[in-house]
Amino acid sequence: MLYYLFEYLDRVFDFPGAGVFQYISFRAMGAIVLSLLIAAYYGRRIIDLLRKLQIGESIRDLGLEGQMQKKGTPTMGGFIILASLVVPVLLFAKLSNVYIVLLLVATVWTCGIGFADDYIKVFKKDKEGLKGIFKVIGQVGLGLIVGLTLYFNDYVKIRSYDKAKIISSVGEIQKYTDVHSLTTTVPFMKNNEIDYSILGSFLPESLAWLPYVLIVIFIITAVSNGANITDGIDGLAAGTSAIIGMTLAIFAYLSGNKVFSQYLNIMMIPNSGEVVIFCAAFVGACVGFLWYNSYPAQVFMGDTGSLMLGSVIAVLALSLRKELLIPILCGIFLIENLSVILQVSYFKYQKKRRGLEFAQKNRLFLMSPLHHHFQKKGYHEAKIVTRFWIVGIVLAVVCLVTLKLR
């Protein structure tokens, strides 16, 4: 909104300083500062309101040190992230940008799913929360919206450069055209692009969109659930998401900038630079939330926040054509997910082969997800979170290295 206001003031009245809002870097800085301020100022008020409404976390005794001391800590803290993210984006971003619209839809959509789950747990006293099938339906619905938009919307383009160059008085000029394409980036490969349209070439033209949309649905569901599982100890999900968001902000800035994309020989995605503003607000919201969620947590984000974080990260990666980097970039989410899958699979295998008693005594991990395994081994929560953050930073650096190493 502020972008349009100052653009009008600059164009019509030549208002001093209004032109600075044309710069993505300025608006990104404004977004991250505002998101931090909103989280810091209104976070305490939201926590007090949650306490007043007696919206506290109901915790099962899993035998973890210090676990039961957290009983009654307010949940649904995802609303702090929601406010800190949406308000700066509405103020500083171009709301006509299709990527911004998709990201806002993903934010509100999955926040609503998570809120429904938390509401059932807290007010209906049902520990199971929203049935898994309804969560999946909600995630599939978001996947359809995102996938079909990216597939059919002509605003979603990449820049294709012609091989021939024009020699002029100012030097070589490389001609280009912006084309609607489903091309994505393949990490660590020299000619690192692949077109999803190949997958639909074997289907009738009316169903050519189906493979791509199914891939989008899978990615959104997997990353969203991965973030949800990771949210098990204080500060882990929020801190990890902030690291991922910062990495994607760098990708967005480079991919949306003509000079940097040509220099690095990476895919140029017109209009994707605007995503930097969203990423900045996202990082600010996560860091601001950590002010209250770091050990010992004064509030939990609940599914209201965790499902939202994962879905936003997935849509960001898809918009920037970096979804094939997700196993590395979101490595913490992946490891947490795999630990649960392996634990359950190993238990079922041993139960079938050697009986229930043996299976209960001989688990693959002391407890899953993986962070609980380390808790069982006697590591303090703060140490586990810090080391997971370090791993997350290393994985982020590996992702950035793919810009040149291929």
Least reliable range by pLDDT among 9-13, 180-184, 232-236, 329-333: 9-13
Distance CA 234, CA 54 (A): 20
- State mean pLDDT over 176-193: 83
The pLDDT confidence band at residue 181, using thresholds 50, 70 and 90, is: confident
Does residue 353 form part of some domain?
A: no
Does residue 383 form part of some domain?
A: no
The pLDDT confidence band at residue 348, using thresholds 50, 70 and 90, is: very high
The pLDDT confidence band at residue 59, using thresholds 50, 70 and 90, is: low
Does residue 177 form part of some domain?
A: yes
Distance CA 209, CA 188 (A): 27
Which residues are CB-contacts of 59 (< 8 A; sequence separation ≥ 6)?
67, 68, 70, 71
> Which range of residues forms the domain containing residue 182?
2-61+70-228+235-321
DSSP 8-state secondary structure symbol assigned to residue 239: H
How many separate domains does the chain show? 1
86-123 tens-digit pLDDT: 999 999 999 999 999 999 999 999 999 999 999 898 88
Omega before 88 cis (within 30°)? no
- 161 - beta bridge partners? 176
> In the block, which residue shows the tokens 């990260």?
313
The DSSP annotation for 313-374 comes to: HHHHHHHTT-GGGHHHHTHHHHHHHHHHHHHHHHHHHHHHHH-HHHHHHS-SSSSSSHHHHH
- State mean pLDDT over 314-325: 95
Which residues are CB-contacts of 163 (< 8 A; sequence separation ≥ 6)?
none
Is 15 or 166 the better-scoring residue by pLDDT? 15
Distance CA 31, CA 43 (A): 17
Distance CA 369, CA 232 (A): 8
Bridge-based pairing state of the strands 171-180 and 157-168: antiparallel
Does residue 245 form part of some domain?
A: yes
- State mean pLDDT over 252-279: 91
Does residue 352 form part of some domain?
A: no
pTM of this prediction? 0.92
Instruction: Please check whether residue 224 is in contact with residue 310, taking contact to mean a CB–CB distance below 8 angstroms.
Output: yes
**Does the pLDDT value for residue 173 go beyond 70?**
no
Does residue 55 form part of some domain?
A: yes
Tell me the residue type at 387: R
Does residue 291 form part of some domain?
A: yes
Q: Whole-number mean pLDDT of the chain? A: 88
